[in-house]
Amino acid sequence: MAVIDTFGLPNTKGRRPLIVAQIVDALGTGLFLPFAVVYFHAAKGIPLTTVGLMLSTGALLSLPAGPLGGRLIDRIGPRRVLVSANLIRVLTFTAYVFTDTPWQLVVLVTATMWGDSLFRPSVFALVAQVADDGHRARWYAMDRSLRNAGIGAGGLIGSTFVGWGGTSGYTAVVVLNAVSFLLAAGLVATWRR
């Protein structure tokens, strides 16, 4: 019995850049996710109630992204949508560093959440395309496991930056998150079957 069967892993031959992209993306997400509210309050000086309103408004305005994402995936393919979603997040996280006006941040948060809402379905559609026969469930399980581990590890790394760097640590977390999305987009864009 092969090792992949023993551990329930999918066949990853020729698909390793996709796996590395998943890990890099999850690490970057984990860097910022635990500090989203605190970043806008501590690094940008925005009151917590305003931060909550900003994030809630962005989430509400991004609701159409999920249904529209499915149509977009069908039209141009999951890989292009995935790369586009990551590039949207590269731009918005980079802009977070240079913006501190709440209405501008609402626009950026909304765009970030559109990118997030396009990202997940495009990952699932891409997995469906690349999985070998009978291995789709294994790919989904591996994706979820890598995502959880990456977010956890990213949170630990992010807490180190914030603990040591204070406000500049928050900025480093945001910049590293943007870099992680850029790396993930590059890996998926340059991967060939």
pLDDT of 74 reads 93
Q: Report the CATH number that the domain containing residue 38 is assigned in CATH.
A: 1.20.1250.20
pLDDT in tens, 58-85: 999 999 998 899 899 999 999 999 999 9
Domain that holds residue 174: 3-190
Report how far apart the first and last C-alpha atoms of the chain are (Å, whole number): 26
Alpha-carbon span 155 to 139, nearest angstrom: 24
Amino acid at 147: R
Instruction: Report in angstroms the alpha-carbon separations of 149 from 8, 42, 107, 126.
Output: 17, 27, 30, 20
What would the mean pLDDT of 149-154 be, rounded to a whole number?
A: 92
Tally of structural domains, the chain: 1
Nearest alpha-carbon partner for 99 in 59, 61, 44: 44
pLDDT tens, position by position, 21-60: 989 999 999 999 889 899 999 999 999 999 999 999 999 9
CB 58 within 8 A of CB 91: no
pLDDT-above-70 percentage for the chain: 93
